[in-house]
Amino acid sequence: MVRVLVIEDEVLCRDMLATALTREGYDVDVAKDGVEGLVRFATNRPDIVLLDMLLPDISGTDVCRRIQSEAPTPVIMVSGLGSEDDVVLALELGAADYVTKPFSPRVLLARVRAVLRREQGGEDSSTPIEVGNIIIHPRRFEVLVGGRPVDLTASEFRILHFLARKPGWVFTRQQIVDAAQGEDGYLAERFVTDRSVDVHMVSLRRKLGAAGGAIETVRGVGYRLKEA
């Protein structure tokens, strides 16, 4: 059974999420704040986390950062904040998706299913990919450059993996963000911005060091990972 951790301080929202997820067959655990959420995450190791951006103790962004530093567990941010800056920040931190309140349980469940499908059953999910001196181990959520590990957020890893599966191919920003956020791209479409993709690419190039030059900008179209 898939384990879901809901970290939400609003009682009505927390109960609604727990009820909807339980009815869908998920094993649901809940936490009322960031401290409790991190404890339950460390103890129970959920398969996916639904995380409120605004928590009373630790901010949701800090909780997301802590989770991503410990394990490649997908995080869906659930927030009353819906500005472009808020969405970009969540993506930078490695959030798999971003849902703005108020939302319908059906939309939320669709987002959860899309993220889990990508995480658990994506194509080329076990075979390492090598492009130049970049080696990607999908199952281990590991990237090596010249044999040395590179620390990437979950979204950065998904984007690099997406580009590396077809080196030399040019992908639009929309295709890249869909790959980072989930298969049901139409659900996330209103959060897709050129800026969010560019932020990820700048961060990826910086973290990959000299190998980051393999990520090429194709003016007016998008990005590609240069063939070795």
pLDDT over 90 percentage in the chain: 40
pLDDT of residue 125: 53
**For residue range 170-179, what is the model confidence (pLDDT) as tens digits?**
888 877 877 7
One domain for residues 57 and 150: no
One domain for residues 104 and 24: yes
One domain for residues 135 and 112: no
One domain for residues 19 and 106: yes
One domain for residues 168 and 189: yes
Nearest partner of 162 among 147, 145, 149, 143, judged by Cα: 143
Distance, CA of 58 to CA of 69 (rounded, Å):
16
Nearest partner of 154 among 95, 89, 85, 223, judged by Cα: 95
Rounded average pLDDT over 113-119: 78
Residue-averaged pLDDT of the chain: 84
Rounded average pLDDT over 108-134: 76
Of the candidates 101, 121, 141, which is a domain's last residue? 121
Contact predicate 222/176, CB 8 Å:
yes
pLDDT of residue 157: 87
Structural domain harbouring 109: 3-121
pLDDT over 70 percentage in the chain: 88
In the block, residue with structure tokens 């179209």:
221
Residues across the chain? 228
The answer to whether residue 52 scores a pLDDT higher than 90 is yes
**What's the CATH code of the domain at 12?**
3.40.50.2300
CA atoms 216, 89, 96, 47: torsion sign: positive
**What's the CATH code of the domain at 183?**
1.10.10.10
**For residue range 85-100, what is the model confidence (pLDDT) as tens digits?**
777 777 777 788 888 8
SS3 149: strand
Rounded average pLDDT over 4-25: 94
Residues 6+ apart with CB under 8 A from 149: 142, 143
Q: How many domains, the chain?
A: 2
Rounded average pLDDT over 49-56: 93
